[in-house]
Amino acid sequence: MTPGGPAWTATVTVETGRPELARWLERALAPEAAREVPRARTTMARAGSALRLRVEASDAGAMRAALNTYLGWVALSLATAATAEGAGAAP
């Protein structure tokens, strides 16, 4: 990150429709958000049935990579939860 703070910031809010699903998604993404990445940092906050991801990056390339990665993980996690629920399991 740059010494004066991030050059790029983005906030993505994922509305899951259910608080328990937002908690599950937060737990699924937490190990990745805790990882040290040289040019980007992600924090998460949950409010009810929504999970907010805040990405800070030092440059446009790092922002693109971080957003693509997190959006992919969100899509995969929600698809996994939907499949599990269809099979009678709860996330």
The per-residue pLDDT for range 59-87, each reduced to its tens digit, is 999 999 999 999 999 999 999 999 988 87
Q: Are strands 40-47 and 8-15 parallel, antiparallel or unpaired?
A: unpaired
pLDDT, averaged across the chain: 91
Q: Residue 89: pLDDT above 80? A: no
Q: Report how far residue 9's alpha carbon sits from residue 60's, in angstroms, rounded to the nearest whole number.
A: 10
The per-residue pLDDT for range 18-57, each reduced to its tens digit, is 999 999 999 999 999 998 888 999 999 999 999 999 999 9
Q: Are 31 and 37 in contact (CB under 8 A)?
A: no
Task: Provide Rg for the chain, Cα atoms.
Answer: 14
Q: Is residue 76 part of a domain?
A: yes
List % helix, strand, coil for the chain (3-state, nearest 5).
45, 25, 25
pLDDT of residue 22: 97
Q: Is residue 47 part of a domain?
A: yes
CATH number at residue 47: 3.30.310.50
pTM: 0.84
Q: Are 16 and 45 in contact (CB under 8 A)?
A: no
